[in-house]
């Protein structure tokens, strides 16, 4: 596996008193008995255990859902060469996804996103989500078992035409991955600079959101509302903070992605489910997520 700088196990044990070596060992033994799953590092096992508050059965379920989702969602998790993919290079020009430095008062880390090219015809949902997941992958693996994560989406400049480029099935797929497979303690899903199109987007999201996600969903139309949860100063300059300009932050983030090009290529080749080895019946994307034709198309001019 190409190099990822994981948090050392001893450091994880030190900063997470509830983490026990015997739980890591038990989880490793379970993984080794699952012929369809790829091999996992101890650092990855720690991340999954921590995200499930060290409960063994939910952790196993998250691992299963994580690799199964990534196998059956090629639109989000295939062709992730940050240099060789024309679609990814275009996505990198259209939006910014960046982990912010600093934390909330509770110690939660924040990943910030915003469209910088507001021409709706340039927005391709699957490509933008693919780039977002690449940023999130490196963020999680580099940070290790963190106290909590917040997703912050800046809606500045978003138009109704952008919503017309979304699909209910595409939203369902990502929300499944977010709620069932992403190994983080998600403490907030925040939308800042709310715009009228937010109502349409929420109406598409809500059918696929569990109560736990609804409970941490917050829509902000002003900085005062946002500041109750997130320190404004850690935001990009253009969003009212002093963390640096969006071009600077994006450049640093994309440089990190490109430096891990070999990891993304190898991850796709080696870290997927082998359905032919799955005990019992293999799974398919249609079984997991349904078919496009079963969703009403959203037509917005």
Which range of residues forms the domain containing residue 238?
94-259
- For residue 189, tell me if it sits in a domain: yes
**In this structure, what CATH number is given to the domain that contains residue 240?**
3.40.525.10
Please tell me whether residue 127 adopts helix, strand or coil conformation.
helix
What's the pLDDT tens digit per position in 112-162? 999 999 999 999 999 999 999 999 999 999 999 999 999 999 999 999 999
The token pair that represents 26 in the structure block: 């038990």
145: in domain:
yes
End-to-end CA distance of the chain: 46
**Number of folded domains in the chain?**
1
For 33-56, what is each residue's pLDDT tens digit?
999 999 999 999 999 999 999 999
Question: Rounded distance, CA 235 to CA 254, Å?
Answer: 18
Give phi and psi for 56, each to the nearest 5: -65, -50
The answer to whether position 61 is within a domain reads no
What is this structure's pTM? 0.93
The answer to whether 31 and 45 have CB atoms below 8 angstroms apart is: yes
Question: How far, in Å, are 14, 72, 89, 264 from residue 85 at the CA level?
Answer: 40, 20, 6, 12
Tokens 């699952």, residue? 34
Does residue 52 belong to any structural domain of this protein?
Answer: no
Residue 112, classed as helix, strand or coil, is strand
199 lies in some domain: yes
Nearest Cα to Cα of residue 113 among 137, 89, 96: 96
Establish if 101 belongs to a structural domain.
yes
102 is a domain residue: yes
Q: Is 81 contained in some domain? A: no
């Amino acid at each position: 596996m190409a190099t990822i700088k994981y948090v050392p196990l001893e450091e994880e044990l030190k900063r997470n008193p509830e983490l026990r070596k015997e739980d890591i060992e038990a989880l490793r033994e379970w993984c080794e008995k699952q012929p369809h799953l790829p091999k996992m590092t101890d650092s990855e096992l720690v991340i999954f255990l921590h995200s499930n508050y060290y409960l063994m059965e939910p952790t196993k379920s998250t691992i299963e859902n994580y690799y199964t989702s990534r196998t059956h969602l090629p639109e989000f998790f295939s062709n992730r060469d940050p240099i060789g993919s024309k679609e990814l290079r275009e996505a990198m020009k259209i939006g910014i996804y960046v982990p912010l430095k600093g934390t909330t008062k509770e110690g939660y880390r924040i990943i910030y996103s915003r469209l910088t090219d507001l021409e709706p015809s340039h927005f391709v949902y699957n490509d933008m989500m693919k780039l977002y997941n690449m940023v999130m992958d490196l963020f999680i693996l580099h940070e290790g078992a963190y106290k909590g994560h917040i997703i912050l989406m800046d809606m500045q400049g978003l138009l109704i035409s952008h919503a017309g480029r979304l699909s209910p099935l595409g939203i369902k797929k990502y929300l499944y991955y977010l709620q069932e497979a992403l190994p983080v303690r998600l403490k907030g899903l925040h939308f800042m600079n709310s715009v009228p199109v937010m109502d349409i987007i929420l109406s598409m999201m809500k059918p696929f959101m569990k109560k736990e996600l609804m409970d941490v969903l917050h829509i902000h139309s002003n900085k005062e509302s946002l500041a109750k949860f997130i320190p404004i100063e850690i935001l990009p300059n253009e969003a009212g903070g002093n963390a640096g300009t969006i071009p600077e932050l994006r450049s640093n983030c994309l440089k990190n992605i490109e430096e891990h090009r070999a990891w993304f290529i190898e991850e796709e080749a080696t870290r997927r489910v082998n359905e032919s080895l799955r005990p019992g019946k293999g799974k398919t994307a249609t079984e997991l997520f349904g078919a496009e034709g079963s969703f009403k198309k959203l037509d917005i001019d």
